[in-house]
Amino acid sequence: MTLFSKTVAERTKPGQRQDVEEQDYTFHAYGRTEGICGIIISDHAYPALVAHQLLSKVVDEFLTSHPRSEWATSNPTLPFPELKDYIVKYQDPHQADSIMKIQKELDETKIVLHKTIESVLERGTKIDDLVAKSDGLSTQSKMFYSEYSPFLSGLITWKMGILWA
C-alpha cells in the first residue's frame, strides 16, 4: 500500500483531488501547491466527500504546524498527534460530516413520517368502514320506519284512546 500511495501521490498534480480504486481500497489524494500530497486509504463504502474534507483539514493543519522549511530539504519524521484524533473522529463518516449527519436525520424522519402516514391511511380505511356501516344502519332504520310507520301510529292512537277512556 505504501508503494501504491507514493505512486498516487506522485501522479496527483498540485491543486488536484482524485480517487483511485485498487483492489478493496480507495486511495483519496489531495495535492497541494506547497509540494505536499495527502493520501487517505479507505474501503469503497467510505464517502469520497468526507475523505476529501478530512484531507483538507489534515493537510492544512499539518502545513500550519510544520512549515515547508521543516520538510522540504530532507525526509524527516515529523510529529503530528492531531492525526490520531482525526482518525478516531472520522471512523464514522455520518458523525464527522455535518451534511451526512443531517441526511441521516432526514432519512430517519422520513421513515417515521411514512409510518405515520400509513397508520393515518389505515385509520381512514377504518373510518370509511364505520361510515359505510352507519349508512347501512340509517337505510335500515328508514326502511323500518316506512314499513311499520302506519302500524306504529295506529298503535299510538289506540294506546292514547285507552288512556282517555
- Type of residue numbered 14: P
Same domain, 89 and 101: no
Cross-strand partners of 31: 37
With residue 91 as reference, give the H or E element that holds it.
none
Q: Are residues 54 and 83 in the same domain?
A: yes
83 shares its domain with 102: no
Q: Are residues 110 and 86 in the same domain?
A: no
Question: Do residue 68 and residue 133 come from a single domain?
Answer: no
Q: DSSP states of 8-22 as a string?
A: HHHHSPTT-EEEEEE
How many Cα atoms are found within 13 Å in the side-chain-facing hemisphere of 30?
16
Q: Coil, strand, or helix at residue 34? A: coil
- Residue 13's CATH number: 3.30.450.50
- Report helix angle 82-89 to 48-65, nearest 10: 170
What's the pLDDT score for residue 80?
A: 86
Helix (H) or strand (E) holding 66: none
C-alpha cell at 91: 471512523
Containing structural domain, residue 153? 97-165
106 and 75, same domain (yes or no) = no
Positive or negative: CA dihedral 14, 20, 25, 28: positive
**Same domain assignment for residues 87 and 144:** no
| Run of H or E including 61 | helix 48-65
Residues 6 and 71 in one domain: yes
Counted residue by residue, the chain has a size of: 165
What cell numbers appear for 75 in the block? Answer: 525526509
**Of the residues 93, 117, 145, which one is the last residue of a structural domain?**
93
Total domain count for the chain? 2
pLDDT of residue 31: 93
| pLDDT at residue 155, as a whole number | 59
User: What are the mean pLDDT values of the chain's consecutive 10-residue runs (165 residues total)?
Assistant: 86 91 92 90 88 89 86 79 85 73 78 81 76 82 72 58 52
Are 126 and 81 found together in one domain? Answer: no
